[in-house]
Protein backbone atom coordinates (compact mmCIF):
# COMPACT_ATOMS: atom_id res chain seq x y z
CA UNK A 1 0.00 0.00 0.00
CA UNK A 2 1.19 3.51 -0.79
CA UNK A 3 -0.93 5.07 1.97
CA UNK A 4 -0.03 5.00 5.68
CA UNK A 5 -2.54 4.74 8.58
CA UNK A 6 -1.58 8.29 9.58
CA UNK A 7 -2.46 9.58 6.13
CA UNK A 8 -5.77 7.74 6.23
CA UNK A 9 -6.59 9.32 9.59
CA UNK A 10 -6.30 12.77 8.00
CA UNK A 11 -8.18 11.89 4.82
CA UNK A 12 -11.53 13.24 3.68
CA UNK A 13 -13.94 10.27 4.00
CA UNK A 14 -16.30 11.85 1.46
CA UNK A 15 -13.57 11.61 -1.19
CA UNK A 16 -12.13 8.11 -0.76
CA UNK A 17 -14.63 6.96 -3.42
CA UNK A 18 -14.62 8.80 -6.75
CA UNK A 19 -17.93 10.61 -7.28
CA UNK A 20 -18.02 9.40 -10.89
CA UNK A 21 -17.98 5.81 -9.64
CA UNK A 22 -20.95 6.45 -7.35
CA UNK A 23 -22.84 8.44 -10.00
CA UNK A 24 -23.34 5.21 -11.95
CA UNK A 25 -25.94 4.27 -9.32
CA UNK A 26 -27.79 7.57 -8.92
CA UNK A 27 -27.54 11.26 -8.19
CA UNK A 28 -24.89 11.78 -5.50
CA UNK A 29 -25.62 13.86 -2.39
CA UNK A 30 -23.10 14.25 0.46
CA UNK A 31 -23.81 14.62 4.18
CA UNK A 32 -20.80 15.31 6.40
CA UNK A 33 -22.53 13.91 9.49
CA UNK A 34 -21.07 15.00 12.83
CA UNK A 35 -17.67 13.25 12.87
CA UNK A 36 -14.61 14.00 10.75
CA UNK A 37 -13.98 10.30 10.19
CA UNK A 38 -17.38 9.58 8.63
CA UNK A 39 -19.42 10.52 5.56
CA UNK A 40 -22.99 9.62 4.56
CA UNK A 41 -23.58 9.63 0.81
CA UNK A 42 -27.10 9.39 -0.60
CA UNK A 43 -27.62 7.90 -4.07
CA UNK A 44 -30.98 9.03 -5.48
CA UNK A 45 -32.60 6.99 -8.24
CA UNK A 46 -35.06 8.20 -10.92
CA UNK A 47 -38.01 6.55 -9.14
CA UNK A 48 -37.56 8.56 -5.90
CA UNK A 49 -35.76 5.60 -4.32
CA UNK A 50 -32.42 6.10 -2.59
CA UNK A 51 -29.72 4.15 -0.81
CA UNK A 52 -27.17 5.37 1.71
CA UNK A 53 -23.45 4.71 1.30
CA UNK A 54 -21.87 5.22 4.71
CA UNK A 55 -18.06 5.61 4.78
CA UNK A 56 -16.21 5.22 8.07
CA UNK A 57 -12.46 5.38 8.68
CA UNK A 58 -11.85 2.77 11.38
CA UNK A 59 -9.36 0.28 12.79
CA UNK A 60 -10.89 -3.02 11.69
CA UNK A 61 -13.97 -4.92 10.54
CA UNK A 62 -17.36 -3.43 11.40
CA UNK A 63 -19.41 -4.81 14.28
CA UNK A 64 -22.38 -6.97 13.34
CA UNK A 65 -25.69 -7.41 15.11
CA UNK A 66 -26.12 -10.28 17.56
CA UNK A 67 -27.03 -13.45 15.68
CA UNK A 68 -25.53 -12.30 12.38
CA UNK A 69 -22.44 -14.10 11.05
CA UNK A 70 -19.05 -12.46 11.47
CA UNK A 71 -17.65 -10.61 8.44
CA UNK A 72 -15.90 -12.89 5.93
CA UNK A 73 -12.34 -11.95 4.88
CA UNK A 74 -11.85 -12.04 1.10
CA UNK A 75 -8.68 -11.21 -0.85
CA UNK A 76 -9.33 -8.64 -3.59
CA UNK A 77 -6.46 -7.47 -5.79
CA UNK A 78 -4.09 -8.47 -2.99
CA UNK A 79 -6.04 -6.53 -0.33
CA UNK A 80 -8.13 -8.08 2.46
CA UNK A 81 -11.77 -7.02 2.40
CA UNK A 82 -14.20 -8.09 5.14
CA UNK A 83 -17.65 -8.73 3.68
CA UNK A 84 -21.01 -8.94 5.44
CA UNK A 85 -24.68 -8.77 4.46
CA UNK A 86 -27.89 -8.31 6.43
CA UNK A 87 -31.51 -7.20 6.18
CA UNK A 88 -33.11 -4.32 8.07
CA UNK A 89 -35.24 -5.61 10.93
CA UNK A 90 -38.04 -3.09 10.38
CA UNK A 91 -37.99 -2.55 6.62
CA UNK A 92 -36.42 -5.74 5.28
CA UNK A 93 -34.08 -3.65 3.11
CA UNK A 94 -30.82 -5.23 2.01
CA UNK A 95 -27.65 -3.92 3.70
CA UNK A 96 -24.14 -4.71 2.51
CA UNK A 97 -20.78 -3.86 4.12
CA UNK A 98 -17.25 -4.02 2.70
CA UNK A 99 -14.34 -3.15 5.01
CA UNK A 100 -11.14 -2.54 3.02
CA UNK A 101 -8.10 -3.21 5.23
CA UNK A 102 -5.13 -0.88 4.94
CA UNK A 103 -3.32 -2.55 7.84
CA UNK A 104 -4.83 -5.43 9.84
CA UNK A 105 -6.18 -4.35 13.26
CA UNK A 106 -4.85 -0.83 12.63
CA UNK A 107 -6.63 0.94 9.76
CA UNK A 108 -9.50 0.23 7.38
CA UNK A 109 -12.08 1.97 5.21
CA UNK A 110 -15.59 0.72 5.93
CA UNK A 111 -18.24 1.02 3.19
CA UNK A 112 -21.79 0.28 4.27
CA UNK A 113 -24.68 0.37 1.81
CA UNK A 114 -28.09 0.62 3.49
CA UNK A 115 -31.75 0.89 2.51
CA UNK A 116 -31.82 -1.10 -0.71
CA UNK A 117 -35.52 -1.94 -0.93
CA UNK A 118 -35.36 -4.31 -3.92
CA UNK A 119 -32.26 -5.91 -2.43
CA UNK A 120 -30.51 -6.24 -5.78
CA UNK A 121 -28.07 -3.29 -5.74
CA UNK A 122 -26.57 -3.01 -2.25
CA UNK A 123 -23.70 -5.44 -2.70
CA UNK A 124 -23.01 -4.34 -6.27
CA UNK A 125 -22.63 -0.75 -5.04
CA UNK A 126 -20.49 -1.85 -2.08
CA UNK A 127 -18.23 -4.01 -4.27
CA UNK A 128 -17.79 -1.24 -6.84
CA UNK A 129 -16.99 1.31 -4.12
CA UNK A 130 -14.52 -1.09 -2.43
CA UNK A 131 -12.69 -1.61 -5.71
CA UNK A 132 -12.29 2.15 -6.09
CA UNK A 133 -11.01 2.51 -2.50
CA UNK A 134 -8.43 -0.22 -3.18
CA UNK A 135 -7.33 1.64 -6.32
CA UNK A 136 -6.93 4.84 -4.33
CA UNK A 137 -5.01 3.23 -1.45
CA UNK A 138 -2.62 1.56 -3.88
CA UNK A 139 -2.08 4.68 -5.97
CA UNK A 140 -1.27 6.84 -2.97
CA UNK A 141 -3.51 9.66 -4.18
CA UNK A 142 -5.47 9.93 -0.93
CA UNK A 143 -7.37 13.25 -0.69
CA UNK A 144 -6.48 15.08 2.51
CA UNK A 145 -9.22 16.75 4.52
CA UNK A 146 -6.86 19.73 5.06
CA UNK A 147 -7.86 20.16 8.70
CA UNK A 148 -6.88 23.37 10.43
CA UNK A 149 -3.81 22.87 12.69
CA UNK A 150 -5.84 23.51 15.85
CA UNK A 151 -8.89 21.45 14.80
CA UNK A 152 -10.32 18.66 16.96
CA UNK A 153 -9.69 16.44 13.92
CA UNK A 154 -5.99 16.35 14.86
CA UNK A 155 -6.54 15.44 18.52
CA UNK A 156 -7.16 12.21 20.44
CA UNK A 157 -10.27 12.15 22.65
CA UNK A 158 -8.67 9.50 24.89
CA UNK A 159 -6.01 11.97 26.02
CA UNK A 160 -8.52 14.32 27.66
CA UNK A 161 -9.43 12.14 30.66
CA UNK A 162 -7.08 10.41 33.11
CA UNK A 163 -7.83 6.90 34.37
CA UNK A 164 -8.14 8.21 37.94
CA UNK A 165 -10.81 10.65 36.76
CA UNK A 166 -12.70 7.98 34.82
CA UNK A 167 -12.75 5.93 38.03
CA UNK A 168 -15.17 8.51 39.48
CA UNK A 169 -17.93 7.00 37.29
CA UNK A 170 -19.78 4.20 39.15
CA UNK A 171 -19.72 0.61 37.89
CA UNK A 172 -17.10 0.95 35.15
CA UNK A 173 -13.57 -0.38 34.74
CA UNK A 174 -11.56 2.80 34.02
CA UNK A 175 -8.80 0.66 32.54
CA UNK A 176 -11.14 -0.57 29.80
CA UNK A 177 -10.70 2.03 27.06
CA UNK A 178 -12.21 1.94 23.56
CA UNK A 179 -10.59 4.38 21.13
CA UNK A 180 -11.84 5.26 17.66
CA UNK A 181 -9.30 5.04 14.83
CA UNK A 182 -9.54 8.75 13.98
CA UNK A 183 -9.39 9.82 17.64
CA UNK A 184 -12.84 11.40 17.43
CA UNK A 185 -14.36 9.34 20.25
CA UNK A 186 -13.23 7.47 23.34
CA UNK A 187 -15.11 5.32 25.85
CA UNK A 188 -14.07 4.20 29.33
CA UNK A 189 -15.98 1.04 30.19
CA UNK A 190 -18.10 -0.72 27.54
CA UNK A 191 -18.93 1.37 24.46
CA UNK A 192 -22.61 0.40 24.73
CA UNK A 193 -25.63 2.54 25.62
CA UNK A 194 -27.05 -0.25 27.78
CA UNK A 195 -23.99 -0.40 30.10
CA UNK A 196 -22.34 2.23 32.34
CA UNK A 197 -19.55 4.19 30.65
CA UNK A 198 -17.81 7.53 30.28
CA UNK A 199 -17.38 9.05 26.83
CA UNK A 200 -15.58 11.94 25.19
CA UNK A 201 -16.81 12.73 21.67
CA UNK A 202 -15.60 15.28 19.12
CA UNK A 203 -18.38 16.53 16.84
CA UNK A 204 -19.06 19.31 14.35
CA UNK A 205 -22.61 20.68 14.47
CA UNK A 206 -24.63 23.23 12.53
CA UNK A 207 -27.33 23.69 15.17
CA UNK A 208 -27.30 25.42 18.55
CA UNK A 209 -26.47 23.25 21.57
CA UNK A 210 -29.46 21.57 23.20
CA UNK A 211 -29.98 21.48 26.97
CA UNK A 212 -29.51 23.71 29.98
CA UNK A 213 -27.01 26.46 29.08
CA UNK A 214 -23.86 27.04 31.09
CA UNK A 215 -20.24 28.15 30.63
CA UNK A 216 -17.21 25.84 30.83
CA UNK A 217 -13.74 27.38 30.72
CA UNK A 218 -15.16 30.55 29.24
CA UNK A 219 -16.91 28.65 26.46
CA UNK A 220 -20.58 28.26 25.59
CA UNK A 221 -21.86 24.89 26.80
CA UNK A 222 -25.03 22.96 27.63
CA UNK A 223 -26.01 20.09 29.93
CA UNK A 224 -28.26 17.50 28.31
CA UNK A 225 -29.94 14.60 30.15
CA UNK A 226 -31.41 11.56 28.37
CA UNK A 227 -33.66 9.22 30.38
CA UNK A 228 -33.53 5.47 30.01
CA UNK A 229 -35.19 3.98 26.95
CA UNK A 230 -36.46 0.41 27.32
CA UNK A 231 -36.48 -0.22 23.58
CA UNK A 232 -35.07 2.40 21.23
CA UNK A 233 -36.24 1.34 17.74
CA UNK A 234 -32.77 1.82 16.27
CA UNK A 235 -30.31 1.04 19.06
CA UNK A 236 -32.15 -1.11 21.59
CA UNK A 237 -32.50 -0.42 25.33
CA UNK A 238 -30.38 2.30 26.88
CA UNK A 239 -29.43 3.48 30.35
CA UNK A 240 -29.89 7.10 31.46
CA UNK A 241 -27.09 9.45 30.43
CA UNK A 242 -26.04 13.06 30.88
CA UNK A 243 -23.57 15.01 28.74
CA UNK A 244 -21.92 18.40 28.82
CA UNK A 245 -21.44 19.72 25.30
CA UNK A 246 -18.90 22.53 24.90
CA UNK A 247 -18.27 24.69 21.82
CA UNK A 248 -14.60 24.60 20.82
CA UNK A 249 -14.34 26.73 17.69
CA UNK A 250 -15.16 26.96 14.00
CA UNK A 251 -14.97 23.79 11.95
CA UNK A 252 -13.46 23.61 8.52
CA UNK A 253 -12.67 23.41 5.75
CA UNK A 254 -14.47 20.11 5.09
CA UNK A 255 -17.19 21.05 7.61
CA UNK A 256 -17.11 24.80 6.97
CA UNK A 257 -19.90 26.72 8.66
CA UNK A 258 -20.21 24.28 11.53
CA UNK A 259 -19.00 24.47 15.12
CA UNK A 260 -16.63 21.95 16.70
CA UNK A 261 -18.01 20.57 19.98
CA UNK A 262 -16.46 18.50 22.77
CA UNK A 263 -19.04 16.28 24.47
CA UNK A 264 -18.31 14.62 27.83
CA UNK A 265 -21.00 12.07 28.72
CA UNK A 266 -21.73 9.76 31.64
CA UNK A 267 -24.05 6.75 31.27
CA UNK A 268 -25.23 4.54 34.14
CA UNK A 269 -27.89 3.40 36.59
CA UNK A 270 -27.32 6.42 38.82
CA UNK A 271 -29.72 9.30 39.40
CA UNK A 272 -30.00 12.26 37.04
CA UNK A 273 -28.31 14.44 39.64
CA UNK A 274 -25.34 12.08 39.96
CA UNK A 275 -24.86 11.60 36.20
CA UNK A 276 -25.04 15.32 35.40
CA UNK A 277 -22.87 16.26 38.38
CA UNK A 278 -20.14 13.89 37.18
CA UNK A 279 -20.37 15.19 33.61
CA UNK A 280 -20.05 18.77 34.86
CA UNK A 281 -17.11 17.76 37.06
CA UNK A 282 -15.19 16.02 34.24
CA UNK A 283 -15.91 18.41 31.36
CA UNK A 284 -13.63 21.23 32.67
CA UNK A 285 -10.82 18.70 33.20
CA UNK A 286 -11.12 17.55 29.59
CA UNK A 287 -11.29 21.11 28.24
CA UNK A 288 -8.19 22.11 30.22
CA UNK A 289 -6.14 19.59 28.21
CA UNK A 290 -7.08 21.03 24.83
CA UNK A 291 -4.61 23.31 22.98
CA UNK A 292 -4.96 26.97 23.91
CA UNK A 293 -5.53 29.77 21.48
CA UNK A 294 -8.99 29.04 20.10
CA UNK A 295 -11.99 31.33 20.70
CA UNK A 296 -13.17 31.10 24.29
CA UNK A 297 -9.78 30.29 25.82
CA UNK A 298 -8.91 32.20 28.92
CA UNK A 299 -5.60 34.13 29.16
**pLDDT tens, residue by residue, 200-222:** 999 999 999 999 999 999 999 99
pLDDT at 299 over 50: no
* pLDDT digits 0-9 by tens, 142-176: 888 989 888 999 999 999 999 999 999 999 999 99
Q: What percent of the chain stands above pLDDT 70?
A: 94
pLDDT at 268: 96
pLDDT at 298 > cutoff 90: no
Q: Average pLDDT over the chain, rounded to whole?
A: 90
The string of pLDDT tens digits covering residues 74-90 is 999 999 999 999 887 66
Overall average pLDDT of the 227-241 stretch: 75
Query: For 9-31, how does the pLDDT look when each residue is reduced to its tens digit (9 = 90+)?
Result: 999 999 999 999 999 999 999 99
For range 39-51, the mean pLDDT: 90
For the chain, what is the HEC assignment? Answer: CCCCHHHHHCECHHHCCCHHHHHHHCEEEEECCCCCCEEEEEEECCCCCEEEEEEEEECCCCCCCCCCCCCEEEEECCEEEEEEEEECCCCCCEEEEEEEEEECCCEEEEEEEEEECCCCCHHHHHHHHHHHHHHHHHHCCCCECCCCCCCHHHCCHHHHCCHHHHCCCCCCCCCCEEECCCCCEEEECCCCCCCCEEEEEEEEECCCCCCEEEEECCEEEEEEEECCEEEECCCEEECCEEEEEEEEEECCCCCCCCEEEEEEEEECCCCHHHHHHHHHHHHHHHHCCCCCCCCCCCC
Residue 279 has pLDDT above 80, yes or no: yes
Stated pTM of the model: 0.88
pLDDT at position 116 is: 85
Checking if the pLDDT of 296 tops 60, the result is: no
253 pLDDT higher than 90: no
User: Residue 233: its pLDDT value, please?
Assistant: 46
The percentage of residues in the chain with a pLDDT greater than 90, rounded to a whole number, is: 72
Amino acid sequence: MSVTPGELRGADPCKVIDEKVLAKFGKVEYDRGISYGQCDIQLHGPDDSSVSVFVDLQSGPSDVSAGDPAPTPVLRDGVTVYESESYGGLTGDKNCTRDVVLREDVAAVSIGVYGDGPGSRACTIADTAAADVIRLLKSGGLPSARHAPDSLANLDACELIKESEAARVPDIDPGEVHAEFTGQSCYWGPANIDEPNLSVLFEHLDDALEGRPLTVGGRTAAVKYRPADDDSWALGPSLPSCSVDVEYGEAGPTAKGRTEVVSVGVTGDSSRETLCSLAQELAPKALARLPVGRPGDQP
